[in-house]
Amino acid sequence: MNLVKYLILILFFLIPFHLFSQVGIELSGNKNVYKSWNDVIYNYSGKESQIFKYSYGGGINYWFRLKNYRLEFTPGIYYMFSKFKFPESSCKFEYYSHVAGIEFDMNVYMFDFVGRNYKKDCPTFSHDGEWFKKSFFIQVSPGMFGAFRTVKKSVDNIDDFNIAGKFDFGLGLDFKITNHLLVAPVIKYGFYIGEKWNGFSAFHAERSYNDITAGNYINLVFNFYLK
């Protein structure tokens, strides 16, 4: 989406070049469950399916931490894409989801919480000794996003845009790949808050209350930092 591209460009131009070590790039994948929407799809087709089961994307974040404690923050922006088609060739509908949002990750290094002599201007690139103790963290991440979803029906599109929230928590590790590259994978479980797709139920001849759905997901993220 153009909005995400502009936000990325603005962030890079605003950050001084000597602080680039604090900018991270992330690649992300979700396994999603949208309860009410899945029920609608099932009622419509007569076969069990999961709409937008997998989504993929990426983003950028900015790293900083408390001075004396290993409580680290990586606020950022991201984009995720997903699509769905019925397995039956007789149903030609195609469903697309574009999600762009902001999130505020908080990492707690519970086994190494009291700060030591770490650099304050970049993520921890040195893990000499006690690797797991220094590298393991718990992450808590609230966020908000805008979701643009569409159904392609022949030559017509049925579009909707909705703003919702999310909250997830998980476990992560810092891996020092080289003296200049750190990779931090995180696996998380989370919930969508306020997910709604106006017109989705009516399109499938269902009652409108199914436009709102409970949602949850498993999220795998790989963060990359260059020193």
Write out pLDDT tens, residues 10-69: 555 545 544 555 788 999 999 999 999 999 998 888 888 899 999 999 999 998 888 888
CA–CA dist 207, 219 (Å, integer): 31
Instruction: Tell me what the pLDDT averaged over the chain comes to.
Output: 85
pLDDT, tens only, 86-111: 877 677 789 999 999 999 999 999 88
Q: Which residue has the higher pLDDT, 13 or 153?
A: 153
pLDDT at 10: 54
The alpha carbon dihedral of 120, 121, 122, 127 has a sign of negative
Which pTM value belongs to this model? Answer: 0.82
Closest CA to 221 of 71, 72, 103, 84: 103
Name the 3-class secondary structure at 99: strand
| Residue 37, pLDDT score | 95
Measured distance CA(55)–CA(80) in Å, rounded:
6
